[in-house]
Amino acid sequence: MNFFESQDRVRKNTFQLVLLFSLAVITLIIMTNLLVMVVFGYINSQQAQEGGDLLQQMDWQTFATIGVGVGVVILVGSLYKIMTLSAGGKAVAESLGGQLIPQDTNDLKQRKLLNVVQEMAIASGTPAPPVYLLTGEEGINAFAAGFTPRDAVIGVTQGTIDHLSRDQLQGVIAHEFSHIFNGDMRLNIRLMGILNGILIIGIIGYYILYSASFSGRGRSSGKGAGGIIALAIGLMVLGFAGTFFGGLIKAAVSRQREYLADASAVQFTRNPDGIAGALKRIGGLEFGSKIKNPGAPEVSHAFFAQGISGFMSSLSATHPPLAKRIKRIDPHWDGKFDTEDKTDRQSNRQGEEQASKKAAMSREELANKMTTILAGAAIADVAKVIDQIGNPSQETINHAHSLIAEMPAVVLAAASEPYGARAIVYSMVLDKGQEVRGQQLQYLQDKADPDVFVLTQKLISEMEKLKIEHRLPLIDIAIPALKQLSLNQYKIFRANLVALIKMDDKVDLMEWSLQKILFNHLDGQFFKLTRTKARYSKLKQLKKETVLVLSVLAHAGNKNENEAKGAFNAAAKTLDFTGLELLARKEISLAVMDRALKKLAMLKPLVKPQFLKACVASIGHDQIISPVEVELFRAFSDVLDCPMPPIKL
């Protein structure tokens, strides 16, 4: 199942979730009505004994009133929880006691974790998500949380970095990246909101009981008070029933997704021993994968492994048994779990040696491997490029590792912290002409943070030496650091960047792409944005927008009009509708392209690859891949929420 099929599956799973939720609500409405009728005598027991029809005896108006009340309570409880989680994965991580790992951490174990996350993010063509550490948690576990890859975070327990080797850690992180790309995170947050609504009935019962017992002190309680206490106890019992239903819903939705994420992790790393080793290590530890935080039950379905245990845990388990997961990955497993800690100095040294060997892979060897995978439609099969989305190969991870290793240490260090990240981005848009550059630097001296301005000046010479293929990975490294800015700092940074780009009275496509990628990932972090909903099931519905964007791409990669027509026609041939004609350069503006991309972002998941394949066909038409084509393609795919792996130039 590829990235787009997974995204579409999540949409269908959302329908399944709504159906299960509706059934649970209906059941709770019926049970609450029966409880009220029994407690307050709405059913005439004597008539029932004499053979009266139960349906005739029921007060349907009261039934409807109670039903609406229960429905409203559940709905309000669900919406409230979803609103509290609107900040994305950050809210989930902090609710579990997670602490953000700074990009410039000196802790070796934390550094190893960030390096693994960074490599996989760059290989996937997406900024590295912020990583939160659950300190004090000895169990091996992890989770990914958020609505989209743009607001995703990864949480990891202390036990995970203490007890796993680099390969095992890579397997766990690959599993979590799979959840990010498969759209499971959004489903998880919706599930948390829905279950909170179901459980709210029991919480109300608890408060009614508490209030009744408190107010009843010192005076005799009559039948009314007794009825209220009985109702409260009954609601608490229904709350237990809600917990039971919630567990069943989580189990129904979660288990198969874990198998899929395990398989994706193996595809991702091409190393089944990594994730299988992590699962075996969990089975061999006394504390396994348990999470002690009291908020763990609410997030249990999002964990890498079963994080909680309790009554009827096997029935409502959100994860398949460890043995079954391991057997699917390693059919020849002997059934023995790993009880030895492999994170001693020798193991760490061996892991680092293996990582160094991977990093030392020659550029020529990487080029040979990457050519057949990522070079474009005319050099390799189009489907292979699109299949890399959300599922990059080990070669791509090695390529990302190599790109990071080639960057100057001073540039990497700067990109990993908020001050340096701003300086890196500013230096990327400085004009080559001395007159305009002088105006830009003067503007920064007046408007930017003084320390950022000084850093920008220091980095100019290093940034000018940077290879063109390092631009996008460097942006991906800088974005997590930029997310740590305050709202006011981000507003200033955003305004400064726009001003620097416009200072030469023109915006070229490289500058537009840089701006689009950055704002696409950062605006949602600082501003309340409306999430894009999928509306269009056929690309033909957006024919005008498709023509415009493909025309931009064709002109960007070809200076000659005839060559641009050839690239455009190559793209048009991949589409299932006709009547497409290349627009002239003068008919295109960046503002119109922005509006076109907003509409294309509303395509349903299974339609998006059709558009992306057309883009790849245009890029590969002349068998020459230019930097501007690569950055435009990355910007287009970012807007469509499709993480595009790095393309070899």
Q: How far is CA 380 from CA 44, 122, 370, 621, in A?
A: 78, 21, 10, 11
User: Pairing between strand 131-134 and 99-100?
Assistant: antiparallel
The stretch 431-446 carries a mean pLDDT of 93
Are 120 and 177 within 8 A, CB to CB?
Answer: yes
The stretch 394-400 carries a mean pLDDT of 75
In percent, the amount of the chain with pLDDT more than 70 equals: 78
158 Cα distance to chain centroid = 22
pLDDT classification of 382: cutoffs 50, 70, 90: very low
CA–CA distance, 596 with 588 (Å, rounded to integer): 11
Q: Given this model, what pLDDT does residue 14 score?
A: 57
Max mean pLDDT among 50-54, 209-213, 232-236, 551-555 falls in: 551-555
String of b and e for 143-177 (b: at least 16 CB within 10 Å)? bbbbbbbbbbbbbbbbbbbebbbbbbbbbbbbbbb
- The sign of the CA dihedral 369, 374, 380, 384 is positive
Residue ranges covered by each domain of the chain: 3-85+192-243, 91-186+266-329, 407-526, 539-639
Q: Residue 294 contacts by C-beta under 8 Å, 6 or more apart in sequence?
A: none
Q: What are phi and psi of 568, to 5 degrees?
A: -65, -45
Active-site pick, 119, 137, 176, 631: 176
CA–CA distance, 341 with 326 (Å, rounded to integer): 19
Q: Can you list the positions of beta strands (E) in 191-289?
A: none
CA–CA distance, 570 with 617 (Å, rounded to integer): 6
Residues across the chain:
649
Please name the helix (run of DSSP H) or strand (run of DSSP E) that holds residue 142, with its range, or none: strand 142-145
Q: Per-residue pLDDT for 359 more than 80?
A: no
Neighbours of 80 (CB within 10 A): 14
Neighbours of 492 (CB within 10 A): 17
In this prediction the pTM is: 0.72
Q: How far is CA 515 from CA 82, 320, 407, 419, 428, in A?
A: 30, 43, 22, 18, 11
CA–CA distance, 133 with 560 (Å, rounded to integer): 53
Neighbours of 540 (CB within 10 A): 15
Max CA separation in the chain (angstroms): 100
pLDDT classification of 373: cutoffs 50, 70, 90: very low
Q: Given this model, what pLDDT does residue 371 score?
A: 40
Q: Six-digit token pair at 447?
A: 């408007």
**Is 176 a residue of the active site?**
yes
CA–CA distance, 78 with 26 (Å, rounded to integer): 15
> 586 versus 246: which is more confidently predicted?
586
pLDDT classification of 387: cutoffs 50, 70, 90: low
CATH of 91-186+266-329, one of 3.30.2010.10, 3.40.718.10, 3.30.420.40, 3.40.50.2000: 3.30.2010.10
Q: Six-digit token pair at 168?
A: 């095992």
DSSP 303: B
Question: Residues 619-640: pLDDT tens digits?
Answer: 888 888 888 988 999 999 888 8
Q: What are phi and psi of 135, to 5 degrees?
A: -70, 145
Q: Given this model, what pLDDT does residue 420 score?
A: 94
Following DSSP, what letter does each residue of 528-591 receive, concatenated?
--PPP---BS-GGGGHHHHHHHHHHHHHHH-SSHHHHHHHHHHHHHTSS-----PPPGGG--HH
> 335 versus 222: which is more confidently predicted?
335
Q: Is 645 helix (H, G, I), strand (E, B) or coil?
A: coil
Q: Six-digit token pair at 615?
A: 């883009």
